[in-house]
């Protein structure tokens, strides 16, 4: 979306005051170990060792845990990573529903399994970060369709009850504009028997837009009834590919 | 371009694969419905606990046992089901428990595994365990031979490999060959294996806490008698996936990213020598040129017909917006068809109303089970 093509496991400046990083679990694990172990020879030996890689892959939830650990690290004003920037806000593009709840519960689950050792207290610390309603909040993104609306309502319930994280806002994404009134739509419906293919197709596209806009508004009303957090809408952009301009347009609406 | 009915001719298993958010569950339900309408006894399996499949089939909820969908519900939508349609939601944890019970030499061994906390974690949370259990259940149902066709709605994987590699990854984990050696109380093996390994182990202990390692050791000990059984089973599951009576359908959307993933998935299927049936592209904006006859100044003609210049301009602008999306979709699908050497790309149009119930499934089926010429006709409103 931005001019940069590659965003890897390092912070890249995209725009003024805006950095981006793609968090890779294996890299997070590596960084975590580097921060834990001060002796260089020991780290090298560890990374070369197959058994370590096996254990890291085999331990349930460890990848998710170090991923959340990296998010925590990014959000610290006192960064563990040397020369790390201080951020006012860290925005996480989280895994899709279904994966989402489990992901956020990992620290708690892990703290329960590893009852002792450094990771126990670190996992607890991460859980506190997630459930700190003053500083951490979830924004749910929904689409104006039946099932996404149902799932968003369930997701909000689970986030509040099971995870204990604050849900600050629900975004209804991709809302079509209301381009035609009902009377105009009726006029367009009269083109169904039109012999000119171009006119008929144009009228049909208009009718389709009107129908979608209308059914989306019904879904928006359902969403508003079913969630507690305030709902904000984002417009559907009729752009074949969303670029930086599209992002700027949406940015003006998210606030 | 064959329709789904022809692609699935003589198949026992249809696996719908693809990334999340592309309408996979809806497509699976529609395929199962269409094949049941043609007289087969079909069971559609999903692993998505989001109740999507139950919702779309008009069922209150689904469990780990197959339930028949009331044919009368389809009759109300004008769809006649000549065969039978059944549906179930896979419970990965319950399926894993059943598998352990079947493989365990005795009850004590079974309970040791079921009560182990590491097992409880992996059976519900380990990456790949859901995917593997979906295949396992598929294998079990196929062995029973109760259905003519099984349609599997795969879990939303982050990528294609998550699904295809699941049996291998899970059995490797359970084998834990490299790990079990170090779990021996004497630690002698660790010394033999070299200093690197023992350092790795001690550092790992320091990082995750000793309990976890003890639990892991207990897990592998409890599992040790079942490893062979699991391996043999995984091998049979794998060969079922590669069987010529199995068919993989890739489901995607028309945007650039979903198309890239479909291309990638197709490539992986071919590499793994798995039977690829075709790609279903959902929510396609139909190319406007296929809907258009003569040229001329559209806005002026519209204004003349409508007697309203402002409305004519809005209709024309809206049409241009729709065409831009249609052209993007056409470009992406062309790329997809090229990559697949034009084998079986089935386009389902973006309908005005969103599809979430039996009426919607019936509508989708008109496209899935139609020839490509018929599809264009339907989209143009002529059929």
In this prediction the ipTM stands at: 0.85
Contacts of B335 by beta carbon, 8 Å cutoff, 6+ apart: B259, B263
Query: Closest by alpha carbon to A50, among B178, B338, B304?
Result: B178
Contact between chains at A115 and B211 (C-beta distance less than 8 A): yes
**pLDDT above 50: residue B293:** no
**pLDDT above 60: residue B382:** no
Confidence of residue A175 (pLDDT cuts 50, 70, 90): very high
Contact between chains at B319 and A145 (C-beta distance less than 8 A): no
Which residues in chain B touch residue A145, judged by CB atoms under 8 angstroms apart?
354, 356
Could you tell me if A217 lies within 8 Å of chain B, comparing CB atoms? no
Q: How many residues does chain A have?
A: 255
Calpha distance B288→B318 (Å, rounded): 12
Is the Cβ–Cβ distance between B361 and B78 less than 8 Å? Answer: no
Confidence of residue B128 (pLDDT cuts 50, 70, 90): low
Which residues in chain B touch residue A46, judged by CB atoms under 8 angstroms apart?
199-200, 203
Contact between chains at B216 and A59 (C-beta distance less than 8 A): yes
Confidence of residue A77 (pLDDT cuts 50, 70, 90): confident
Could you tell me if A215 lies within 8 Å of chain B, comparing CB atoms? yes
**Mean pLDDT for the stretch of residues A27-43:** 79
What are the structure tokens assigned to B308, written together?
């309203």
Q: What is the pLDDT of residue B192?
A: 46
The shares of helix, strand and coil residues in chain B, as percent rounded to the nearest 5, are 60, 10, 30
Contact between chains at A46 and B197 (C-beta distance less than 8 A): no
Contact between chains at A114 and B52 (C-beta distance less than 8 A): no
Which residues in chain A touch residue B285, judged by CB atoms under 8 angstroms apart?
none
Q: What is the pLDDT of residue B252?
A: 92
More confident residue, A45 or A64: A64
**Mean pLDDT for the stretch of residues A211-217:** 95
B299-334 per-position pLDDT tens digit: 999 999 999 999 999 999 999 999 889 989 999 999
Contact between chains at B381 and A204 (C-beta distance less than 8 A): yes
Smallest Cα distance from A163 to chain B, Å: 16
**Mean pLDDT for the stretch of residues B357-362:** 83
**Mean pLDDT for the stretch of residues B257-276:** 89
B43-67 per-position pLDDT tens digit: 999 877 667 778 778 777 788 889 9
Which residue from B199, B210, B293 is facing A198, i.e. has the nearest CB?
B293
Confidence of residue B173 (pLDDT cuts 50, 70, 90): confident
Contact between chains at A146 and B321 (C-beta distance less than 8 A): no
Residues of chain A numbered 171-190 and touching chain B (CB < 8 Å): 179-180, 184, 187-188
As a dihedral over the C-alpha atoms of residue A193, residue A196, residue A198, residue A202, rounded to 10 degrees, the angle is -30
Contact between chains at B207 and A33 (C-beta distance less than 8 A): yes
Which helix (H) or strand (E) covers residue B280, if one does?
Answer: strand B276-284
Half-sphere exposure of A120 (CA within 13 A, CB side): 12
Sheet of A137-142, strands arranged across: A137-142, A166-175, A231-235
Contact between chains at A199 and B125 (C-beta distance less than 8 A): no
Q: What is the pLDDT of residue B190?
A: 46
**pLDDT above 90: residue B261:** no
Of the listed ranges A220-234, B179-193, B298-312, the one predicted with least confidence: B179-193
* Chains A & B: contacts with CB separation below 8 Å: 191
First to last CA, chain B: 19
Q: Which residue of B has its CA nearest to A47?
A: B200
Percent of chain B whose predicted confidence (pLDDT) is above 70: 80
Contact between chains at B210 and A54 (C-beta distance less than 8 A): no
**CA angle A236-A241-A243, nearest 5°?**
90
Q: Which residue of B has its CA nearest to A95?
A: B158
**Mean pLDDT for the stretch of residues A186-204:** 88
Could you tell me if A124 lies within 8 Å of chain B, comparing CB atoms? no
Contact between chains at A50 and B178 (C-beta distance less than 8 A): yes
Q: What is the pLDDT of residue B147?
A: 97
Calpha distance B68→B59 (Å, rounded): 9
Calpha distance B277→B1 (Å, rounded): 12
Q: What is the pLDDT of residue A234?
A: 96
Dihedral sign of CA atoms A237, A238, A240, A246 in order: negative
Could you tell me if A41 lies within 8 Å of chain B, comparing CB atoms? no
Q: What is the pLDDT of residue B188?
A: 45
**pLDDT above 70: residue A214:** yes
Which residues in chain A touch residue B211, judged by CB atoms under 8 angstroms apart?
113-117
Query: Closest by alpha carbon to A140, among A130, A126, A128, A154?
Result: A154
Q: What is the pLDDT of residue B287?
A: 62
Smallest Cα distance from B271 to chain A, Å: 25
**pLDDT above 50: residue A147:** yes
Q: What is the pLDDT of residue B250?
A: 92
Contact between chains at B207 and A36 (C-beta distance less than 8 A): yes
Q: Which residue of A has its CA nearest to B170?
A: A58
Which residue from B49, B50, B212 is facing A114, i.e. has the nearest CB?
B212
Smallest Cα distance from B145 to chain A, Å: 31
Contact between chains at B204 and A95 (C-beta distance less than 8 A): no
Q: How far is CA A206 from CA A64, B249, B302, in A?
A: 46, 33, 12
What are the structure tokens assigned to B8, written together?
């699935």
Q: What is the pLDDT of residue B73?
A: 84
**pLDDT above 90: residue B251:** yes
Which residues in chain A touch residue B314, judged by CB atoms under 8 angstroms apart?
179-180, 206
């Amino acid at each position: 979306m931005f001019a940069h093509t590659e965003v890897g496991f390092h912070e890249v400046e995209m725009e003024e005051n805006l950095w981006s990083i793609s968090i890779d679990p294996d890299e997070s694990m590596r960084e975590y170990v580097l921060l834990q172990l001060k002796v260089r020879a020991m780290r090298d030996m560890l990374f070369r060792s197959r058994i370590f890689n096996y254990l890291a892959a085999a331990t349930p939830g460890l990848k998710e845990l170090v991923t959340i650990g990296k998010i925590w690290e990014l959000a610290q004003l006192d960064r563990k990573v040397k020369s790390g920037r201080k951020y006012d806000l860290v925005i996480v593009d989280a895994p899709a529903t279904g994966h989402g709840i489990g992901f956020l519960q990992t620290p708690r689950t892990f703290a329960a399994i590893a009852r002792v050792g450094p990771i126990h207290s670190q996992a607890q610390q991460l859980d506190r970060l997630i459930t700190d309603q003053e500083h951490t909040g979830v924004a749910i993104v929904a689409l104006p369709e039946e099932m996404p609306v149902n799932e968003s309502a369930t997701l909000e319930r689970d986030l509040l009850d099971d995870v204990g994280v604050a849900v600050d806002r629900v975004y209804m994404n991709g809302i079509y504009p209301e381009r035609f009134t009902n009377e105009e739509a009726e006029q367009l419906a009269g083109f169904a028997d039109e012999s000119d293919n171009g006119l008929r197709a144009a009228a049909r596209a208009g009718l389709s837009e009107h129908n979608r806009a209308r059914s989306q508004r019904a879904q928006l009303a359902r969403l508003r009834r079913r969630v507690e957090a305030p709902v904000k809408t984002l417009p559907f952009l009729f752009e074949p590919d969303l670029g930086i301009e599209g992002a700027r347009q949406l940015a003006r609406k998210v606030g | 371009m064959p329709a789904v009915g022809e692609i699935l001719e003589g198949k026992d298993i249809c696996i719908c694969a693809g990334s999340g958010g592309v309408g996979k569950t809806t497509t699976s339900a529609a395929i199962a419905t269409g094949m049941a309408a043609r007289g087969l006894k079909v069971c559609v399996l999903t692993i998505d606990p989001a109740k999507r499949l139950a919702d779309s089939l008009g069922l209150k909820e689904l469990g780990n046992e197959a339930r028949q969908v009331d044919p009368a519900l389809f009759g109300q939508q004008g769809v006649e089901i000549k065969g039978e349609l059944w549906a179930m939601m896979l419970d990965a944890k319950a399926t894993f428990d059943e598998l352990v019970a079947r493989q365990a030499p005795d009850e004590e061994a079974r309970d040791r595994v079921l009560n182990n906390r590491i097992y409880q974690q992996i059976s519900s949370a380990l990456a790949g365990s859901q995917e593997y259990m979906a295949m396992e259940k598929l294998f079990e149902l196929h062995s029973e031979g109760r259905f003519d066709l099984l349609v599997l709605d795969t879990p939303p994987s982050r990528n294609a490999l998550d699904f295809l590699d699941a049996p291998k990854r899970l059995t490797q984990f359970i084998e834990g060959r490299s790990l079990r050696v170090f779990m021996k109380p004497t630690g002698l093996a660790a010394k033999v294996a070299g200093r690197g390994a023992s350092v790795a182990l001690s550092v790992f202990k320091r990082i995750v806490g000793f309990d976890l390692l003890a639990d892991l050791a207990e897990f592998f000990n409890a599992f040790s008698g079942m490893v062979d059984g699991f391996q043999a089973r995984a091998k049979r599951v794998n060969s079922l996936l590669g069987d010529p009576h199995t068919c993989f359908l890739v489901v995607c959307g028309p945007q650039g990213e979903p198309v890239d993933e479909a291309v990638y998935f197709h490539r992986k299927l071919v590499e793994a020598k798995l039977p690829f049936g075709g790609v279903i592209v959902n929510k396609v904006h139909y190319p406007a040129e296929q809907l258009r006859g003569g040229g001329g100044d559209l806005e002026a003609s519209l204004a003349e017909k409508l007697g309203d210049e402002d409305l004519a301009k809005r209709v024309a602008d809206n049409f241009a917006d729709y065409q831009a999306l249609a052209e993007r979709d056409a470009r992406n699908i062309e790329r997809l068809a090229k990559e697949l050497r034009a084998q079986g790309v089935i386009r389902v149009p973006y309908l005005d109303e969103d599809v979430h119930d039996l009426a919607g499934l019936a509508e989708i089926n008109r496209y899935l089970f139609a020839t490509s010429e018929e599809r264009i006709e339907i989209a143009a409103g002529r059929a």
